[in-house]
Structure 1
């Protein structure tokens, strides 16, 4: 056995540690926003239906990424590689570009949340969408850009602080909310809306919460990355299931316990981060301060990680010649300069757009989730395609289970696209459309044909969707 083999073996982790890694990769800033988002859309019954749909769908999606990582280990360039392998170069490019735009929109939502959280001390920041908030956020964007250019690549200490900062407040909130639980308030919130049972109403309530459930689970594809750390191969599946169900339980407990503390009408009106507002209603001002401090530390850690992620989404394809070569440029510290500038530039643009949004945080959360839907759908579709063509399924022992998993994941992501609505699809097209310029540059650098006939049609549809989205915004048909 070589020294490398020994080192690799020593780096392997047990099932509890692997499970903790999976949990850490899934819990983010979205959990602090759940009480109001669910209170705005649904009652208890609608929320239970929504979490059941999200739980089954997202677990299947997690299994899809796990199986793709095992069956296609050569496709290690990120989520876009699955779309490209399954549906061609231009589709794969759009998957990468859309996921990058989603990461940037998510980073924008972090700044909105930070500003809204600190507005208790500085009222001029408002809900994170005032001129002062945009100026402060812009300074933060480019400060982080400068730090990363200086070589801040290893963020282990910051990530550990961020993990501690988000887990402790969440657990404290759940415990206090359960102790303060009022059965009559909970039952009064059960059916939601006018309090009358209706299947149509329950379906609409559940559909209205779908985008926030996607947002809180963003990064679920990262759980498969930890498979290489497993001491035993069977631990990978166990850690995925245990970790996912643990995170789902946390999300449901935060949501359901809030229904037992405040009436739905009040939940729908509290300020974000709504977890702070709910806890304040129970224990007083210190509860709000406690949660807000946790939010700020958690979000700053997440912002650093996702800024690096956004740059990597452009940098890695550029190294593989799937993006223009200029996006692969590095500085002396090894930081992908051009990719970081692109990411910071989009965040800056979105911050300015928020000055015209009626509800900046909700709009950015929904846009983040909507942009990620197509890459997730394409990955699920590719997994289903592998089972249909039986590629990599020579033994056929896993064929039927994997076909069921990928089919459910595909149907679920298609439902999410439907739940997001035409408005969000057109808004997504506005961000997808400029990516065609980068695609044309990359193809010409390699001396390849730009579009096949089918790809030209797809490009035309994206452009048409972008034009429709712009027209809708200018005429007021689409409100943000």
Structure 2
């Protein structure tokens, strides 16, 4: 056995991992994961769907719902300290190996698709001064994005500790321009414009539809709230996982809501809806001139690169832990001497590369990738919340620490209802496209079972597999017939 293999086995068996992360670093990773491309696209995304009233309701719903999810991850970190890698481990413990595999794969695929939105937005930002890059979906943009994608692969391959330290520095650097945007927007705030935008434009539809239309955007920007949970095996103290989750969420929620609402006081929402992404740059340009666009664009590039780093780390970690739990092929459970899961990292980068190429054929690469990222994450979130309900009701009492309370149960139920509503808000389109990715992934599950000389599927797992395959077939037919457009 090699030194790298020994280190891997030690980490998976509960021995002291090579890297120990503090509360500050874990919180920075949560904030760094959430503050990325999404916040810079919020003004346009919201203006396309709703006015001030709908935005306030949407943020209230998203804030409460995601706070419940944050509390769920905090509670599960304490009640089930034996489970690592958060989202994946909770789904497996609560609902079996196959749904646990789906959760791991869905979360990982969500991260890979989300990483593509970062490169698209960077190229779109530079495209404002270099027309050859277009909206981030031209051939040149794809080539340059690919170079950046593999450069980050080489950086992360050097070690988790080094990458985490860089992320902590970048997190601080990228928060500054966003806060400056909010302060400048308040200074140039126009009450009359804000009032005109309050009820929404004629194209916005009913208030319920306005709120529903913003839900996937809010999911996207809050992805990463579970970041500390994913890295629980690296935490210096177990209780820091829950604390980092809640602290990171509350900090980011205040930023996201502020960016959205103050934008309505600078421009008519119909004009915001027509801005190119990153729309935050266009909003600030309207208020202070060209330097505002340049300032936000520079902040965006720093922010997005930091978020990409954090998400690449988390995506590889999920594959690695799933492999160590025998739910992914064994090759994904190997690490380097620096405690980096290199095969998982390589597979993460490769899928991002494939999706990046696909964006060149999309009519709206950024928005489609953003919504697909959100949709893929919903099943893992729903399973984690439902598992919290089971724990609160006393399920697996012999494995859980402490007893469930009414407060814990209420939080878990609210989180479950919220994620179920998000699946409804996503619509059938993105559910079917998600199945197109989920169904073929079963080959990885089959490979893992064969490596262990185990039966491929139980009757229940076979039924779930059949549903996913049918959904994938319907999704492919819908794409081929043009009922679903990329």
**TM-score normalized with structure 2 length:** 0.89
- Corresponding position of 2:446: 440
User: Which of residues 100, 103, 112 is equivalent to 1:95?
Assistant: 103
- Corresponding position of 2:200: 192
Stretches of structure 2 that go unaligned for 5 or more consecutive residues are 1-15
Q: Per the alignment, in what secondary structure is the counterpart of residue 48 of structure 2?
A: helix
Contact map agreement 1:161 1:297 (CA 8 A) in 2: no
1:353 partnered with 2:371: no
- Corresponding position of 1:283: 288
- Corresponding position of 1:341: 346
| 1:397 Cα offset (Å) | 6.5
| 1:18 Cα offset (Å) | 8.4
Separation (CA, whole Å) in 2 of partners of 1:453 and 1:14 = 44
**Structure-to-structure mapping, 1:166-177, within 5 angstroms:** 166-177=174-185
Stretches of structure 1 that go unaligned for 5 or more consecutive residues are 1-7
Q: Per the alignment, in what secondary structure is the counterpart of residue 226 of structure 2?
A: helix
- Corresponding position of 2:428: 422
User: Which of residues 456, 461, 478 is equivalent to 2:462?
Assistant: 456
Separation (CA, whole Å) in 2 of partners of 1:401 and 1:274 = 40
Separation (CA, whole Å) in 1 of partners of 2:96 and 2:403 = 28
Contact map agreement 2:319 2:344 (CA 8 A) in 1: yes
Aligned CA RMSD, in angstroms, stands at: 3.0
Separation (CA, whole Å) in 1 of partners of 2:321 and 2:26 = 26
User: Which of residues 191, 210, 214 is equivalent to 1:183?
Assistant: 191
Cα distance change on mapping 1:396 and 1:333 into 2, 3 Å: closer
Cα distance change on mapping 1:333 and 1:383 into 2, 3 Å: closer
Which string of whole-angstrom CA distances, capped at 9 and with x for unpartnered residues, describes residues 421-469 of structure 1? 1000011111111210000010111111111111111111111111111
Contact map agreement 1:62 1:224 (CA 8 A) in 2: no
**Structure-to-structure mapping, 1:310-325, within 5 angstroms:** 310-325=315-330
Contact map agreement 2:35 2:221 (CA 8 A) in 1: yes
Cα distance change on mapping 1:152 and 1:143 into 2, 3 Å: farther
Which string of whole-angstrom CA distances, capped at 9 and with x for unpartnered residues, describes residues 275-309 of structure 1? 11111111111111111111111211221222222
Cα distance change on mapping 1:19 and 1:474 into 2, 3 Å: closer
Separation (CA, whole Å) in 1 of partners of 2:49 and 2:332 = 41
1:116 partnered with 2:121: no
Q: Per the alignment, in what secondary structure is the counterpart of residue 206 of structure 2?
A: helix
Cα distance change on mapping 1:346 and 1:14 into 2, 3 Å: closer
1:465 partnered with 2:481: no
User: Which of residues 391, 401, 410 is equivalent to 2:407?
Assistant: 401
Q: Per the alignment, in what secondary structure is the counterpart of residue 155 of structure 1?
A: helix
- Corresponding position of 2:271: 266
Which string of whole-angstrom CA distances, capped at 9 and with x for unpartnered residues, describes residues 212-256 of structure 1? 101111111125579999999999877765653332222111111
Contact map agreement 1:277 1:288 (CA 8 A) in 2: yes
Contact map agreement 1:188 1:195 (CA 8 A) in 2: no
Contact map agreement 2:106 2:377 (CA 8 A) in 1: yes
| 1:475 Cα offset (Å) | 0.8
Separation (CA, whole Å) in 1 of partners of 2:299 and 2:177 = 6
Q: Per the alignment, in what secondary structure is the counterpart of residue 48 of structure 1?
A: helix
Separation (CA, whole Å) in 2 of partners of 1:16 and 1:152 = 16
Q: Per the alignment, in what secondary structure is the counterpart of residue 136 of structure 1?
A: helix
Separation (CA, whole Å) in 1 of partners of 2:437 and 2:208 = 30
- Corresponding position of 2:12: none
Aligned positions, number:
468
**Structure-to-structure mapping, 1:60-79, within 5 angstroms:** 60-79=68-87
Contact map agreement 1:34 1:275 (CA 8 A) in 2: yes
**Structure-to-structure mapping, 1:76-225, within 5 angstroms:** 76-151=84-159, 154-194=162-202, 201-223=206-228
| 1:322 Cα offset (Å) | 1.8
Contact map agreement 2:41 2:277 (CA 8 A) in 1: yes
**TM-score normalized with structure 1 length:** 0.90
Separation (CA, whole Å) in 2 of partners of 1:233 and 1:345 = 33
- Corresponding position of 1:477: 483
Contact map agreement 2:50 2:211 (CA 8 A) in 1: yes
| 1:315 Cα offset (Å) | 1.5
Contact map agreement 2:93 2:100 (CA 8 A) in 1: yes
